[in-house]
């Protein structure tokens, strides 16, 4: 008997209940059986997959974590190459590194070391994560100093300094390895200089035109790597750690540190106190035993080339081990080790097996009871629906099923009830929708006609299906003609812009859109009888519900005026370019003229920028001074060569600030001293322009004039006094010969007296010619008063002249020299000291006469004053020596100058 025959004889209740119960029983039994049998087998599979997933997750996250330092270095290098960062400006680097470090919580230090062993960095302190500045260089005498900072990165106080020790970044692995590789590279793990932690440094060499400028640095604290591993959960009690091929521990997810501390007394330097440990010396049992197992199994950790999945036992408990080599192209070669106990997997599986068995038994009992209830619940409304369906089949629409249920059977009954009404309503609704669709199409057409842009719709053959009124105006048509896609360009006169070539059919925007492209072009022209229209066309495909292209829509606008404007703009730019070229030629000619004038002008010109760098020297400067432009680096070098002593340089610099011409005797390249006159001009951009003249010939002319005057005076004295006294001698000799003749003696004596009077008058005239005009008709007090009055009128300074004591007459030579000394002292004070008040005193006493001149000017350093001939000091000293007076000068920078001349009047009178 066939199965179908047997089933057909069974009731609906039997068919529903028996199979339902048998299925539940079999499902529950088999589920429990296979769950128990496969539990053990699944452990290994789950462990392998879980370890693979965990190791992959650790590797990916570790790679991302370790890429960060190199990405920071690359970003810093890019800013240097773009000129946004200057490696010579440690102040800008310091602020930049500070704000950069703020952005990366996992980075411990960002810095830079140049080739001069100078180092600047921002560091996250290992104790409290505060941001500090570490610097070593000329400014710190190459001591490594650590500064506490405020929130803006400004230095506060020094919190650590290696006093007396020279910090050398060039011996650090993060500097050596990148320089050796000429590229990004990791250095070996090295201790922090404070001896508290270990660092892993990523270095990036910086080159300028192939020349090494230094190395950029980004450091990771190994404890941070451990924190990172702890953040990656490995099972319930599993752990992960990273070791080098040498077996040294890099980081671990346990709380253990990958380093140990030496005895403080045994460490020569603070950084020697911390030492990286080997993993097999770890205090963590899993780390230590797992490492020992790997070394025993492979003999050498360097032999582990591929991913390894292993297992071994610790105290009888099985451990699953995943070993993953981790290597990059920047020098890292590590092993990632993940250890998970079998209990982490079995605990859940055993628990789930027990729960599954209990639930299966409960489910079987519940299923049997529930099946019986459900069968009755289902069969009763089905039989009612059967009767209702027969009625509908017979066309008895008024007969309905009354089933008070809200489930599917209830809904089915309600559906039967409303089916007839719904069919009638559908016909009415369809008529309404057709009417609304026609109205919608009409409105859409009105919208398209009102748009001031040409719009056309093309079918899949390229034929225009619809075109609005604007499009018809552009195309100059009333009725859309029939044209295949090969005829589109010819029928509508579509040409390539600025040519007489029809637009290629396959390149037309609508044809490209029918091929699936969204197109925008502006190289289309429509040629009509009396005009050419330039168009900008946008075209896009239209898809149906199945993704097939059914239409292409094109929108086009008239850009004729825009094209004309662009053409005019291009012509204008060409004219402007020509004018710029002509103006550039004119400026070049003017520059050449100025350059020629600059080179042939008979004065020395020197231009230096605000940093003191020499920017310009003309040929006259090179001729007089002897230095070529390329031999002089900065103005400081030139000042040192021209003024050998610091005092001379201080005098020259201070004098030049008043913006007046000053004479200087300077040393040139061949060692000679040359008389020059200089004017300093300070420019608005901070540059300094120096203009000088060689006044050697003028000085020689002055000396020649003085010598000539002395010779003239010698001749006058010779021709007057000498001749007169010669005649006197002759006549007196004659008187001796004729002494017996009284008349003859008298005559000779008379002539001798007249000659002596004449000679005396000539002598007085010669002396008068040498005396100051102020002393001609005045005493010394009045003469000094006149000198003070004249100098005061010629300067901006206030001069106070006082006479103390009772004046008395001094020898004319002494008065003349005192007058000249006072005149020279007043002149120097007004010309060179920028004084606003000058006091001159002439003091008479019984024992001495004192001349005192004091000002409130800028003052100067009096060291080596004896060898300095500036400001007429040497002349005043010589005059004092000539009259036996004592000369004293007191001066300090910023406190004025005092000149004292003391004359012993007792010796003078005697």
pLDDT in tens, 135-146: 999 989 999 999
Residue 909 banded pLDDT, cuts 50, 70, 90: very low
pLDDT the model gives residue 763: 59
pLDDT the model gives residue 39: 62
Cα dihedral sign, 111-112-117-120: negative
Map out the domains of the chain as residue ranges: 23-361, 451-558, 601-694, 701-770, 773-909
> What totals of helices (H) and strands (E) does the chain contain, helices first?
22, 32
First-to-last CA distance in the chain?
174
pLDDT in tens, 370-412: 766 776 666 666 666 666 666 656 656 555 666 666 666 666 6
Mean pLDDT of the chain: 81
Q: Does domain 451-558 have CATH number 3.40.50.1220?
A: no
With 0-12 CB in 10 A as exposed, 13-18 as middle and 19+ as buried, what is 190? middle
Question: What is the helix (H) or strand (E) element at residue 141, kind and residue range?
Answer: none
Residue 32 has pLDDT above 80, yes or no: no
pLDDT in tens, 619-633: 888 888 888 878 887
With 0-12 CB in 10 A as exposed, 13-18 as middle and 19+ as buried, what is 648? buried
pLDDT the model gives residue 583: 84
pLDDT in tens, 678-716: 898 888 888 888 899 888 888 888 777 776 776 666 556
The pLDDT of 522-528, averaged and rounded, is: 86
The pLDDT of 560-578, averaged and rounded, is: 83
The SS3 call for residue 142 is: coil
Contact 680, 639 (CB under 8 A): no
CATH number for the region 23-361 comes to 3.30.450.20
% of the chain surpassing 90 pLDDT: 26
pLDDT the model gives residue 89: 93
What is the Cα–Cα distance from 508 to 496, expressed in whole angstroms? Answer: 10
Residue 255 has pLDDT above 60, yes or no: yes
Q: Where are the strands (E) in 286-332, listed by range?
A: 308-314, 317-327
The pLDDT of 161-179, averaged and rounded, is: 88
pLDDT the model gives residue 637: 76
Q: Which residue has the tokens 């068919």?
A: 15
Residue 114 has pLDDT above 90, yes or no: yes
CA distances from 43 to 29, 50, 235, 238, 343 (A): 22, 10, 13, 15, 10
pLDDT the model gives residue 712: 65
pLDDT the model gives residue 764: 55
The pLDDT of 307-329, averaged and rounded, is: 90
What is the Cα–Cα distance from 327 to 509, expressed in whole angstroms? Answer: 53
CATH number for the region 601-694 comes to 3.30.450.20
pLDDT the model gives residue 384: 67
pLDDT the model gives residue 850: 95
Structure tokens at 179: 């320089």
The pLDDT of 858-863, averaged and rounded, is: 79
Residue 870 has pLDDT above 60, yes or no: no
Which residue, 875, 888, 885, is CA-closest to 905? 885
Which residue, 171, 211, 203, 167, is CA-closest to 185? 203
Domains 451-558 and 601-694 share a fold: yes
CB atoms within 10 A of CB 737: 11
884: left (phi over 0), alpha (psi -120 to 50) or beta: left
Task: Identify the residue with better confidence: 728 or 120.
Answer: 120
| 561-596 burial code (b ≥16 CB/10 A, e <16) | eebeeeeeeeeeeeeeeeeeeeeeeeeeeeeeeeee
Residue 68 has pLDDT above 90, yes or no: yes
Name the CATH architecture for the domain at 773-909. Answer: 2-Layer Sandwich (3.30)
Residue 6 has pLDDT above 70, yes or no: no
């Amino acid at each position: 008997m066939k199965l179908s025959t047997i089933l057909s004889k069974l009731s609906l209740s039997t068919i529903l209940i028996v199979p339902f119960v048998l299925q539940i029983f079999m499902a529950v039994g088999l589920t429990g059986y296979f769950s128990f049998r496969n539990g053990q087998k699944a452990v290994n599979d789950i462990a392998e997959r879980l370890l693979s997933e965990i190791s992959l997750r650790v590797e990916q996250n570790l790679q991302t974590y370790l890429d960060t330092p190199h990405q920071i270095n690359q970003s810093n290098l890019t800013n240097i190459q773009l000129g946004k960062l200057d490696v010579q400006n440690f102040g800008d680097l310091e602020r930049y590194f500070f704000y950069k470090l703020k952005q990366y919580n996992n980075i411990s230090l960002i810095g830079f070391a140049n080739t001069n062993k100078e180092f600047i960095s921002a560091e996250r302190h290992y104790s409290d994560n505060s941001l500090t500045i570490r610097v070593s260089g000329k400014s710190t005498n190459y001591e490594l100093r650590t500064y506490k900072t405020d929130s803006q990165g400004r230095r506060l106080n020094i919190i650590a300094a290696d006093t007396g020790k020279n910090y050398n970044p060039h011996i650090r692995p993060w500097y050596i390895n990148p320089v050796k590789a000429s590229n990004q590279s990791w250095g070996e793990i090295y201790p922090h200089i404070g001896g508290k932690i270990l660092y892993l440094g990523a270095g990036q060499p910086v080159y300028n035109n192939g020349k090494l400028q230094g190395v950029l640095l980004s450091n990771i604290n190994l404890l941070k790597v451990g924190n990172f591993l702890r953040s990656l959960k490995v099972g319930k009690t599993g752990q992960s750690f990273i070791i080098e091929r040498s077996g040294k521990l890099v980081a671990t997810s346990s709380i253990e540190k990958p380093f140990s501390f030496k005895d403080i007394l045994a460490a020569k330097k603070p950084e020697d106190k911390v030492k990286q440990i080997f993993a097999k010396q770890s205090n963590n049992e899993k780390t230590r035993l797992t490492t020992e197992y790997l070394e025993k199994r492979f003999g050498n950790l360097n032999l582990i080339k591929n991913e390894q999945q292993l297992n071994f036992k610790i105290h009888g408990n099985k451990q699953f081990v995943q070993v993953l080599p981790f290597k990059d192209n920047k020098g890292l070669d590590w092993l990632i080790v993940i250890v998970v106990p079998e209990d982490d997997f079995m605990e859940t599986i055993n628990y789930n097996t027990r729960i599954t068995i209990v639930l299966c038994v409960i489910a079987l009992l519940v299923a049997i009871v529930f099946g019986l209830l459900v069968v009755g619940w289902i069969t009763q409304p089905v039989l009612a629906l059967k009767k209702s369906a027969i009625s509908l089949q017979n066309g008895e629409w008024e007969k309905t099923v009354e089933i008070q249920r809200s489930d599917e059977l209830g809904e089915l009954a309600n559906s039967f009830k409303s089916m007839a009404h719904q069919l009638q309503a559908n016909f009415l609704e369809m008529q309404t929708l057709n009417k609304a669709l026609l109205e919608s199409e009409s409105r859409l057409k009105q919208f398209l006609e009102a748009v001031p842009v040409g719009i056309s719709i093309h079918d899949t053959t390229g034929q225009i299906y619809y075109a609005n009124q604007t499009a018809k105006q552009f195309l100059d048509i009333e009725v859309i003609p029939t044209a295949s896609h090969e005829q589109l360009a010819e029928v509508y006169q579509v040409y390539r812009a600025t040519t007489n070539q029809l637009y290629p059919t396959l390149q037309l925007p609508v044809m490209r859109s029918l091929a699936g492209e969204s197109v925008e072009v502006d190289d289309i022209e429509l040629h009509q009888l009396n005009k050419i229209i330039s168009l900008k066309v946008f075209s896009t495909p239209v898809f149906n519900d199945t993704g097939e292209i059914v239409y292409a829509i094109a929108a086009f606008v008239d850009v004729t005026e825009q094209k004309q404007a662009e053409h005019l703009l291009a012509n204008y730019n060409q004219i402007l370019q020509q004018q710029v070229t002509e103006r550039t030629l004119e400026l070049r000619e003017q520059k050449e003229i100025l350059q020629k004038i600059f080179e042939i002008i008979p004065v020395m010109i020197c231009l230096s920028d605000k940093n003191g760098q020499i920017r310009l020297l003309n040929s006259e400067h090179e001729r007089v001074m002897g230095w070529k432009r390329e031999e002089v680096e900065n103005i400081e070098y030139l000042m040192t060569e021209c003024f050998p002593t610091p005092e001379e340089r201080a005098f020259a610099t201070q004098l030049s600030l008043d913006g007046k011409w000053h004479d200087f005797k300077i040393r040139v390249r061949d060692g000679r001293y040359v008389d020059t006159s200089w004017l300093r001009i300070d420019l608005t951009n901070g540059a300094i322009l120096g203009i000088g003249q060689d006044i050697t010939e003028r000085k020689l002319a002055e000396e020649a004039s003085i010598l000539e005057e002395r010779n003239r005076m010698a001749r006058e004295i010779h021709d007057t006094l000498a001749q007169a006294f010669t005649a006197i001698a002759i006549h007196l000799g004659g008187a001796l010969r004729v002494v017996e003749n009284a008349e003859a003696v008298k005559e000779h004596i008379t002539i001798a007296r007249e000659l002596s009077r004449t000679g005396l008058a000539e002598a007085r005239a010669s002396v008068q010619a040498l005396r100051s005009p102020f002393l001609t008709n005045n005493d010394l007090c009045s003469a000094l008063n006149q000198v003070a009055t004249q100098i005061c009128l010629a300067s901006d300074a206030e001069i106070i002249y006082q006479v103390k004591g009772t004046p008395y007459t001094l020898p004319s030579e002494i008065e003349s020299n005192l007058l000249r000394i006072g005149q020279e002292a007043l002149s120097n004070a007004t010309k060179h000291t920028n004084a606003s008040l000058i006091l001159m005193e002439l003091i008479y006493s019984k024992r001495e006469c004192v001349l005192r001149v004091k000002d409130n000017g800028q003052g100067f350093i009096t060291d080596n004053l004896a060898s300095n001939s500036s400001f007429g000091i040497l002349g005043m000293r010589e005059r004092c020596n000539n009259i036996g007076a004592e000369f004293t000068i007191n001066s300090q920078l910023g406190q004025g100058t005092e000149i004292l001349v003391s004359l012993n009047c007792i010796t003078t009178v005697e």
